[in-house]
């Protein structure tokens, strides 16, 4: 009896080690581009190409970061990105939470049609709506302003966020709403004091998704800042490293690394809530 058990244990251990090796290889392949960008940011322009796929630079050139931060105005672009991204996240969370709450808890005529239209907007490319968005912003005096960029980024469909909130709110017991109503709370008070605090994991998920999308968005900030370079975001500011006849690859890699740091910090801080929010909405 001991011999078969030993063989089974050995096979189980070998299977576990095989899984670990496969997952380790996948992780290395997955994070290699990020590691290469960080490595390229510490090389000179010649070393970026002469080093090939190697990750260890011959010498460290931290002046690339100083050049990106000071000479390319990345300090200003970082402030713009932070303000625009935070404003977009706040508006998207408020709007999508309210929409998801109404869809999940209220019955109204045309509810299915509204949901169908929302889902249909998932297939509309951003370039299809950029012209009316820019014209409307120009008529309202919002073109070439941070407020205009925030409203343009927050005013798109964000259907996934709406459906996440709707799925989460549909699982909340109705007794909580009824108790709030009996205490004299109206619609908005019930939403802000009872329902929204319960949806913390979904709010974290939507916040992370919106943060990533707004921080990395290139097209809308580019169009809205044609005549105002001082309002550019980090993604648009990287154009400063590309000239007519040459490209500062090491400076561009340093700029890309600078723009990635806030994304990594936000995701690492909220990853547990991100997974909980996705799992909670999918269960419903």
Q: Is residue 2's pLDDT more than 70?
A: no
Q: Is 247 helix (H, G, I), strand (E, B) or coil?
A: strand
What tens digit of pLDDT does each residue of 168-203 get?
A: 888 888 888 888 888 888 888 888 888 888 888 888
H or E element in which residue 212 lies: helix 200-216
Nearest to 202 by CA among 122, 284, 123: 284
What tens digit of pLDDT does each residue of 22-69 get?
A: 999 898 888 888 888 888 888 887 777 776 677 777 778 888 888 888
Nearest to 190 by CA among 182, 199, 181, 198: 181
Q: Is residue 259's pLDDT more than 70?
A: yes
For 75, residues 6+ apart whose C-beta sits below 8 A from its C-beta are 69
Provide the token pair at 100. Answer: 């998801």
Whether the pTM exceeds 0.75: the reply is yes
Average pLDDT (84-97) is 93
What tens digit of pLDDT does each residue of 152-175 get?
A: 888 877 888 888 898 888 888 888
Backbone φ and ψ of 242, nearest 5°: -110, 115
- The span from the CA of 175 to the CA of 171, in Å, is 12
Give me the helix-helix angle, 159-169 and 249-283, nearest 10°.
30
Backbone φ and ψ of 26, nearest 5°: -60, -40
- The span from the CA of 87 to the CA of 99, in Å, is 18
Average pLDDT (134-161) is 86
H or E element in which residue 188 lies: helix 187-190
For 61, residues 6+ apart whose C-beta sits below 8 A from its C-beta are 42, 43, 44, 250
Backbone angle region of 52, left / alpha / beta, with phi > 0 → left and psi within -120 to 50 → alpha: left
């Amino acid at each position: 009896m001991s011999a078969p058990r030993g063989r089974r244990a050995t096979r189980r251990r070998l299977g576990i080690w095989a899984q670990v090796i496969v997952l380790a290889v996948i992780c290395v392949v997955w994070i290699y581009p990020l590691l290469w960008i960080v490595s390229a940011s510490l090389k000179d322009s010649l070393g970026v190409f002469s080093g090939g796929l190697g990750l260890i630079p011959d010498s460290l050139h931290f002046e690339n970061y100083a050049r990106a931060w000071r000479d390319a105005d990345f300090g200003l672009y970082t402030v713009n990105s932070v303000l625009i991204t935070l404003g977009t996240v706040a508006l998207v969370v408020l709007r999508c939470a309210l929409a998801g709450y109404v869809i999940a808890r209220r019955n109204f005529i045309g509810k299915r049609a509204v949901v169908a239209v929302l889902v249909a907007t998932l297939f509309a490319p951003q370039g299809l709506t950029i012209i009316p968005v820019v014209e409307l912003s120009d008529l309202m005096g919002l073109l070439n302003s941070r407020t205009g960029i925030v409203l343009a980024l927050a005013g798109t469909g964000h259907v996934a966020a709406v459906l996440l909130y709707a799925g989460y709110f549909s699982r909340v017991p109705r007794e909580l709403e009824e108790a709030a109503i009996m205490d004299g709370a109206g619609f908005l008070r019930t939403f802000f004091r009872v329902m929204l605090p319960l949806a913390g994991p979904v709010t974290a998920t939507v916040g992370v998704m919106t943060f990533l999308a707004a921080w990395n968005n290139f097209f809308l900030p580019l169009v809205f800042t044609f005549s105002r370079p001082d309002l550019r975001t980090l993604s648009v500011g990287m154009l400063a490293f590309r000239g007519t006849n040459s490209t500062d690859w090491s400076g561009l890699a340093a700029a890309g690394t600078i723009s990635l740091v806030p994304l990594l910090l936000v995701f690492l801080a909220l990853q547990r809530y991100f997974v909980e929010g996705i799992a909670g909405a999918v269960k419903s």
